[in-house]
């Protein structure tokens, strides 16, 4: 085999290896990006559940406060009569 054909063979092999490596790196990055999306979704769902829990707690506290205010107004009204 001539020297130039050997050089072409080596260059072609190196370019092929580099292309294959680049594709593998790209696939790994894409897989990591997709997985981080799943983690973000799980975090969002967790935060949403926490927000709903806090909202329900706030609603219950507001209801209790309203009931206590009404009770105090009724007691205050009965004391004045």
Q: What does the pLDDT look like over 23-51, one tens digit per residue? A: 999 999 999 999 999 999 999 999 999 99
Range with the lowest mean pLDDT among 10-19, 40-49, 72-81? 72-81
Which residues touch 1 (CB under 8 Å, ≥6 apart)? 9
pTM: 0.58
């Amino acid at each position: 085999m001539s020297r130039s054909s050997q050089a072409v063979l080596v260059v072609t092999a190196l370019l092929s290896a580099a292309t294959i490596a680049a594709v593998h790196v790209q696939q790994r990055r894409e897989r990591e990006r997709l997985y981080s999306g799943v983690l973000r979704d799980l975090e969002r769902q967790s935060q949403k559940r926490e927000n709903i829990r806090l909202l329900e707690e706030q609603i219950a506290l507001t209801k209790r406060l309203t009931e206590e205010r009404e009770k105090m107004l009724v007691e205050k009204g009965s004391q004045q009569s």
